[in-house]
Amino acid sequence: MKVIATNKAPAAVGPYSQAVDCGDTVYLSGQIPLVPETGLIAEGDITVQAHRMFRNIAAVLEKAGLGFENVVKTTVFLQDIKDFAALNAVYGEYFVEPYPARSCVEVGALPKGALCECECIARR
């Protein structure tokens, strides 16, 4: 098992890794729309925050030598399920067919008041 870490995505703020490389499979921890340089949530609506979140995921994937085409499963957490359509539109800008499997759920709250969070599993 190898830890994946990059300063192009927000640093882990607890006892976890940005990602863990297990050979053929890489597990990415949930990314929220934190701006890596400031540690603050990207200001804006779900569209703005979703783009920031996916840019953070892209940075972690890149550090692992992977891209969105390697992602086989995502779990998306939304503060408000009413943001599903807007999130879906942004999601479609990062993922292409064949799309990864996905779950999307509304949660009571996300860290730092984020509107969205996404974790991924990728394969080489």
Q: 104, 116, 118, 120: which is the annotated catalytic residue?
A: 104
Is 104 assigned a catalytic role?
A: yes
CA gap 44, 35 in Å, rounded: 12
Residues designated as active site: 104
